[in-house]
Chains A and B, each alone.
Chain A
Amino acid sequence: MKNLRQKLKSLPFMLMACIVLTSCNDLLEENDGQLATGDLDFTQTDDMILPLVGAYAVTYSRGWEDPLLVGVRGDDVNAGGLGDQPLFAETDLFNYDNGFWMFNQVWVNFYGDILDINNARETIEQYKEFATGDDVALGDQYIAETKVLSGFQHLQMSKLWGDIFIITSTNVEQELDNGVFTKEEVMLYISNLMDEAIPFLPDARPNERTDLAGGVTKYTALAIKAMANLELENYQLVADATGEIINSNKFMLYPDFYELFKKPGQLSNENLFELQFSDFNSDSGPVSNHLYAPFGPSSWDPLVETASGGWGFYEPSLKFIKFMIDRGEQTRLVTSVNFTPRGIEEIMEDPGYTTLPNYISNVTLDGDVFNNYPRAMFGSGKHYLPSNQLTTGRNDYGSGKNFIVIRYAEILLMYAEALTRGASGNGISADQAVNMVRSRVGMPSLSGVTAQDVMDEKYAELAMEWGIRYFDMIRLNEFSELSYEGRTFTEDDEFLPYPQEQLDLLPLE
């Protein structure tokens, strides 16, 4: 009996414990440190630009291997980096190993971005539902911009692999069930996607945009449409799209070809699309940089002594250099190529080139001295930023430099090519287009340009840029051009094999 009384005495205490415990059950529903997409306040239309900036951020933040793999197979450039990344060198020789990590990395880099861009588009659509007035049109513009970014990435993917998946939403599983589309279908899709986007995009040069300077505009979309149709050899549509850009009279070639690829050329009137980077002109704090080191020399004496070199992974070819010397191209050669003493000797080994023009030097126009290094004989000048243009305290190779993707010179030459291949122009002539490009670099005017003239001009003007040369050559079946310096190119070599990891994961053959 006494026991029972004792028990009852402590009952309130125990009851209290139970109550405290049960009231905590609600806490089980909380999740600190996590923001669900559904918890965003979509009525804050001002925030609608945030997912768009996110889409640009993922597009800009390219892996270092992306531009290398896209470009390396052309006859304008060799792998370099000898003794390192042998499978990259093998790729340059058209021997593909589908287990090579770089193939898969580039694959997931582009597709990862495409998914992120689709996510951004869907988030913008949710903001747009609550938008009113002008903001509705702004929402449409942002959505159109994501389509241009996605189109650009699909374009790169299909150029590399040919038949690829088209991913238009975040419902990946369903889209994978559709299987891969042929390269033709992909290019058609891109062309149509640009047509969809164009009506909503700003009628402006990217550098004229005030809301998002350097962002894509109607003309970027037209350029991508032209590129897709160039792949399709649908030259009339190429001429129409590029003609529309030219006739807008908004674009002009940047007068100094060399500086175009340096800091002064950033967001110039020539650029239709560029990946933006910056060290914010401060010696400390955040940076948003591309890793240019693969393009840099592994030994140099920069004017600014502290400037870092690079890995020597991207070496302009002897074929290209000799082609340029033969043409008497000074400006474009010294802009495109950084020479080392060993490289210069190597050119002179050829009996046809025992005396070289005096502008060929291992000292750049800005006074940086390229030394011998075993990895490569030449450096890529268009990816080189003179050490005296670096922000003080920022010594990474090319720190803060933008990466140009599409520029007006390419538009002019695509236009000229289309015309020389039978398309009818609606503005200037092919001669005019080519000569605009030539006159900037001090080359004499041509008249009656042929398709071959245009291809040569593209080679000289666009070398080392985004594999333009390589993809031109495979489009035109000019396999003999690609069979240079000991290589043999056959039709089977056009596309990269699907990465082994993707073969394992996807309905691919």
Chain B
Amino acid sequence: MKAKLSILLLCFTLVSWSQQKKISGLVTSANDGMPLLGVSVIVDGTSRGTSTDLDGKYSITLQSGAQVSFSYLGYKSQTIKVIDQTIINIALEEDANSLEEVIVVGYGSQKKIDLTGAISTVKAEDIEKTPNSNIVQSLQGKVAGLQITSNGSPGAGPTVRIRGVNSFSAGGGPLYVVDGVFYDDIDFLDNSQIESISVLKDASSIAIFGQKGTNGVIVIETKGGKLNSKPTFTYSGYTGYQRAQNVVKMANAEQFVTMALESGSQADIEFVANAIQRYGRSRINPNLPNVNTDWYREILRVAPISSHSLGVTGGTESATYGVNASYFSQEGILDMENEYERFNVQSNIEVKLSERFRVGANALFSNSTRLNPENGAWFQAYFAVPILPVFDTQNENATPTAFSDATLLGYRGAQNPFPVMTFNNNRVKQRRVLTSAFIEYSLIPKKLKFKTFYSHDYNTTSERNVRLPYFISENSQRAVSSIRRAEFNSSNQYWDNILTYTDTFGDHNLTAIAGASYRDQQFETLQVTGDDITGIDLESSWFLDFADPGSFANQVIGNGDRLYSIAYLSRVEYNYKNKYLFNATYRYEGDGRFPKEIWLGTGSIGAGWVISEESFMQDNGVINFLKLRGSWGQLPNGALTGSAGTRTVSTLTTAINDLLTNGIISTNNFTDLEREILEETNVGISAKLFDNRLSLEVDYFTRDTKRLVIPVIQPIAGNTVLQNAGEMRNTGFEIAAGWSQRLNKDWSFSVNGNIGTLKNKMTKINNNLGYLDTGSAEFRQRSILGEPVEAFFGLEVEGVYQNDTQVANDPIAVDNNLEPGDFIYKDQNNDGIIDDQDRVVIGSYLPEFTYGGNLQVSYKNFDFSLAIAGQTGNEILNRKRGEVIFTNDTNIDADFATNRWHGEGTTNSYPSSAGRRKAWNQRLSTFFIEDGSFFRIQNVQLAYTIPLKKLGENMPEFKLTFTAERPLTIFKYNGFSPEVANGVDRQTYPIPAIYTFGVNIKL
């Protein structure tokens, strides 16, 4: 059909001169009568064309006798000869197998029907609903097996895990492939630029991408014009505000003082007395100081967010173009200079020089400025005692601001978070240029083409950390100002040369690609700190030129690295009658960071059976499409720290006779790694039922990480060296189902849901211990064979000693001088002693279930959508509570203060205030491990399209939206948010709820 069309397009001779006339009409779906938006309506043999509007309407001028064709993705195209009709209404039939729907895979594209791996797609509309700087955030809850952990800090991206944790090594995020270019992050992309997103989950889908794709691949296509379409101008924007939700309730002054008095610590009782002396007595309760500070309330604020983007796309008969500019700004909810601002300009053009020659170029400039928060403020606000005010006018020595200081009351730490929030300024400017260009030439028309594709991602990041001088107390001061300037620049280049061969022999369809990909990744940094800045009060002086030149010594870091890699790749896709599918991939990749094994080859195979194409399945009335698929593949993981392969030297300095003196130090602990290899088997079913209304995707996978790199502690000196000494397995089910239906002319709805399960376990640990410890000694995480990676490892609390008799009757309690209000631990090995040998796995930070769902209802010009997301089965280490092991003269959350043991029968799960301070109760135990499950209303949006088209055809489309992002989260955990990427909650930037009002205009 397509081929026929394009031949027609070229046949200018077909155009006969006759009378100009105008036709209009409505294009609907034959299945449910729903109007179709964006159907291209093209006058055959000309460059004239248009597309249908939101109501499925179109109008076009043509010569009578011309043919006009209507085409839409996923539907069968129709061509109509215009003779004397003025209104042509068309009902397009859905293409049952969506044969035309194409998914971009590595170095090419594949018809969706031919896929044998696990790939999920997300529509652009769903992405635009999420007000966020980072596109990935909008995927939360939308893809089975994709876990997104949000980050509330402006401009900071979420943590993304596709099918769990498969490696210990850094760089656990997925690979982003934007219009064919590889990126480690997509901070530079604006939500409005996206055309489509595909999430590639299994090894066979990813194999062609090689070692960068181990943690999953997210393929993104940005908006571009279509051939033969008139310019379309689009504006979309929103503005709104963000508000912290689920703010942790801390003990107030009364609860805190009660805890202090009960603690039995004379020191803490004195601190309270000091506060009363300094700040006076409360008139309500004379035993309290006249201060009751809610620190979180003090440091939080309501913060604005807004976004604007303006773009135009279009195309002539031989060229397409797109230009887009967008601006995004977001302030942080931490009350300091904390914001993010980004301006992007993007353009792309693609030209068909001849039937054989195609060239294209894409350029994006992104300029962003981020003022980073002092995340320590969250930590300090948690611990700051409520009997300390923010300001203290009696603190006369303080300069420039009379902030209070807890050390003036006797506490160990200054506690007040405001000095760091006020006197620190952290700016990061990022400027990024991303360009790419390609030339494609058909060596054999329609069969063999060669494409050379070059891309360059040039990124400069300038950091400026300013430290202003201040004096609050002897223990909270900065005598000398300083500025740190850090310049990072990276240059990542790819050059791909790919041959693609496509052919059909009868019922046999074949596509084969072969090529080479060359990568050069350079990184350089220069970081300098200068002290004692002249004119520090003025931002115009925040340059190193104004620093004391003598202060630079030993405060300069300059380094860089360069990574080359070359890969040869190939893929074969074959199908017989679109019924039996087969594909195979092989990639041979060289990477200089692994001197032990520079070259590594990996591959994958996949097979599928489209049962619905079999004759016995035809016209069964229920199943429209059914495919069984299976795949196996290997992926090398190159996201590892490069190996040294040999002993290395570093420099250091020390004071010798008051002179800064240089020395060198060498290490005999060096890494010599091979790449990890992930092996995955995936089986699945894809189906469409009941007139394509129900769609279903089910997957089951097993993935093993072979040659897993683990930190092996070297004996004696405690340093660790990475070695290929482990194996890990992840298994899971993923189910995604959707139903969409048009009920009548006014009403339509769709429902989608997805569930992913995940089970992680260590299958091999080959070090001298047989297990692997991470975390710190106090907050141990241990990976044990058969247990999840980095499981929390500690004692199991069985209860709390309630009375003296109970203590006296328990030899363990007697041996350890315990009292009522102390924990009873389970003696796991029954040796009558509670010690480290009694520790067991007490939780995992990996969720067992992640789920999401989405309901969409349309009524006339109103569209309502509701998205949910959640997870269960993961635990969080409440490290804030655990911090008592280091400092206990601090505040505690209200939940603890309320539920503490304070007499027989008060609780069997919380220690007493005195007990909280005892080492016995501070050991990592189930008390500090909390349930991290949550359910969330992810997004609610109400949209109204103003029916301006009724006023005239040239009127724009005008849509208003009201969005609430994450308005409600339900969870039990005692913290701001149950979204803690690594499960250890020490200080987390709270995730705000966002409320926006938006406008979309299309002309």
A interface, CB within 8 angstroms of B: 3, 6-7, 10, 14, 17-18, 20-21, 24-25, 27-38, 40, 49-58, 60-61, 82-87, 90, 97, 99, 101, 104, 107-108, 111-112, 114-116, 119-120, 123, 165, 167, 170, 172-173, 176, 212-215, 267, 276-278, 280-286, 288, 298-300, 302, 305-309, 311, 373-375, 393-395, 500-502, 504-506
**B538 an interface residue at 8 Å Cβ cutoff?**
no
Closest A residue to B716 using CB positions: A111
Asked if B648 and A119 sit within 8 Å, CB to CB, the answer is no
Partner of A286, one of B553, B564, B714: B553
Q: How far is the CA of A280 from the CA of B656 in the complex (A)?
A: 10
Q: How far is the CA of A33 from the CA of B558 in the complex (A)?
A: 9
Name the distance in Å between B494's Cβ and chain A's nearest Cβ: 12
Asked if A285 and B552 sit within 8 Å, CB to CB, the answer is yes
Partner of B654, one of A53, A83, A119: A53
**B3 an interface residue at 8 Å Cβ cutoff?**
no
Asked if B665 and A116 sit within 8 Å, CB to CB, the answer is yes
Binds A, one of B214-222, B275-283, B334-342, B470-478: B470-478
Known: A10-B443, A17-B516. A176 touches B715 (CB 8 A): yes
Residues of B within 8 A of A212 (CB): 656
Q: How far is the CA of A99 from the CA of B658 in the complex (A)?
A: 39
Residues of A within 8 A of B452 (CB): 17
Closest B residue to A32 using CB positions: B562
For B466-504 the 0/1 string (1 means CB < 8 A from A) is 000001001101011010000000000000010000000
Residues of A within 8 A of B917 (CB): 83, 86
Find the residue from A49, A60, A284 having the highest chain B CB count within 10 A: A284
A-B residue pairs in contact (CB < 8 Å), sample of 9? A31-B593, A56-B663, A101-B776, A108-B717, A112-B718, A119-B668, A172-B716, A281-B658, A298-B407
Name the distance in Å between A129's Cβ and chain B's nearest Cβ: 16
Known: A30-B562, A285-B555. A311 touches B412 (CB 8 A): yes
**B985 an interface residue at 8 Å Cβ cutoff?**
no
Partner of B591, one of A18, A28, A50: A28
Other A-B pairs beyond A36-B649, A82-B265, A501-B718, 16, CB < 8 Å: A14-B450, A17-B497, A28-B592, A29-B592, A32-B561, A35-B648, A53-B654, A86-B917, A86-B922, A213-B656, A298-B475, A306-B479, A309-B407, A309-B475, A395-B479, A504-B769
Asked if A280 and B718 sit within 8 Å, CB to CB, the answer is no
Known: A278-B655, A308-B474. A394 touches B668 (CB 8 A): no
Find the residue from B410, B520, B553 having the highest chain A CB count within 10 A: B410
Asked if B662 and A50 sit within 8 Å, CB to CB, the answer is yes
Find the residue from B547, B592, B713, B776 having the highest chain A CB count within 10 A: B592
Closest B residue to A26 using CB positions: B564
Q: How far is the CA of A97 from the CA of B922 in the complex (A)?
A: 13
Asked if A33 and B713 sit within 8 Å, CB to CB, the answer is no
Asked if B662 and A123 sit within 8 Å, CB to CB, the answer is no
Known: A28-B592, A119-B666. A306 touches B474 (CB 8 A): yes
B interface, CB within 8 angstroms of A: 265-268, 270-271, 397, 407, 410, 412, 441, 443-445, 448, 450, 452, 471, 474-475, 477, 479-480, 482, 497, 516, 518, 520, 522, 530-532, 547-548, 550-555, 559-562, 564-566, 590-593, 595, 598, 642, 644, 646-650, 652-668, 713-719, 768-769, 773, 776-778, 835-836, 886-889, 917-919, 922-923
Asked if B656 and A83 sit within 8 Å, CB to CB, the answer is no
Known: A104-B718, A500-B836. A285 touches B550 (CB 8 A): yes
Q: How far is the CA of A59 from the CA of B660 in the complex (A)?
A: 16
Q: How far is the CA of A309 from the CA of B271 in the complex (A)?
A: 18
Partner of B407, one of A49, A107, A299: A299
Q: How far is the CA of A502 from the CA of B590 in the complex (A)?
A: 39
Residues of A within 8 A of B547 (CB): 284
Asked if A165 and B668 sit within 8 Å, CB to CB, the answer is no
Residues of B within 8 A of A170 (CB): 668
Asked if B410 and A37 sit within 8 Å, CB to CB, the answer is no
Asked if A308 and B475 sit within 8 Å, CB to CB, the answer is yes
Asked if B267 and A82 sit within 8 Å, CB to CB, the answer is yes
Q: How far is the CA of A300 from the CA of B268 in the complex (A)?
A: 18
Residues of A within 8 A of B471 (CB): 306
Name the distance in Å between A399's Cβ and chain B's nearest Cβ: 10
Asked if A86 and B560 sit within 8 Å, CB to CB, the answer is no
Residues of A within 8 A of B656 (CB): 53, 56, 212-215, 276
Residues of A within 8 A of B642 (CB): 31
Asked if B718 and A108 sit within 8 Å, CB to CB, the answer is yes
Closest A residue to B481 using CB positions: A284
Asked if B663 and A28 sit within 8 Å, CB to CB, the answer is no
Partner of A308, one of B410, B477, B658: B477
Asked if A28 and B531 sit within 8 Å, CB to CB, the answer is no
Residues of B within 8 A of A54 (CB): 652, 663-666
Q: How far is the CA of A24 from the CA of B520 in the complex (A)?
A: 10
Known: A29-B592, A35-B649, A308-B477. A57 touches B715 (CB 8 A): no
Find the residue from B477, B554, B665, B917 having the highest chain A CB count within 10 A: B665
Name the distance in Å between A119's Cβ and chain B's nearest Cβ: 5
Name the distance in Å between A285's Cβ and chain B's nearest Cβ: 4
Q: How far is the CA of A52 from the CA of B650 in the complex (A)?
A: 13
Find the residue from B644, B649, B888 having the highest chain A CB count within 10 A: B649
Name the distance in Å between A280's Cβ and chain B's nearest Cβ: 6
Known: A31-B592, A54-B665, A167-B716. A276 touches B655 (CB 8 A): yes
Asked if B443 and A298 sit within 8 Å, CB to CB, the answer is no
Asked if A309 and B717 sit within 8 Å, CB to CB, the answer is no
Asked if B564 and A30 sit within 8 Å, CB to CB, the answer is yes
Asked if A32 and B560 sit within 8 Å, CB to CB, the answer is yes
Name the distance in Å between A60's Cβ and chain B's nearest Cβ: 5
Closest B residue to A113 using CB positions: B717
